[in-house]
Amino acid sequence: MQNLNLILIILFILFSFILHLLGLMKLISVFITGPILFFSLFLFVYYLNNRNRFKGFKN
């Protein structure tokens, strides 16, 4: 399941990157594509940072 999440996040990054390239060619507004690309990269970093976190000892 973790590999599926990682693959989906990477596909979302590729999609948002292509969308941002369209924005740089002035086909779509950059004000829309910029935050989408930022959000996809933020999700990727958040996922990589949060998956091996120590959650404490169970009682």
Q: In this predicted model, what pLDDT tens digit does every residue of 8-33 receive, in sequence order?
A: 999 999 999 999 999 999 999 999 99
Confidence of residue 53 (pLDDT cuts 50, 70, 90): confident
What's residue 52's pLDDT? 74
* Angle, alpha carbons 33-7-21 (nearest 5°): 25
| Residue 57, domain member (yes or no) | no
| Residue 59, domain member (yes or no) | no
Count of the separate structural domains present in the chain: 1
Q: What is the mean pLDDT of residues 31-52?
A: 92
Token pair in block for residue 51: 């998956």
Range of the domain at 29: 1-52
What's residue 38's pLDDT? 97
Q: pTM of the prediction?
A: 0.82
- Contacts for 11 with CB less than 8 Å, ≥ 6 apart: none
Which has the higher per-residue pLDDT, 41 or 56?
41
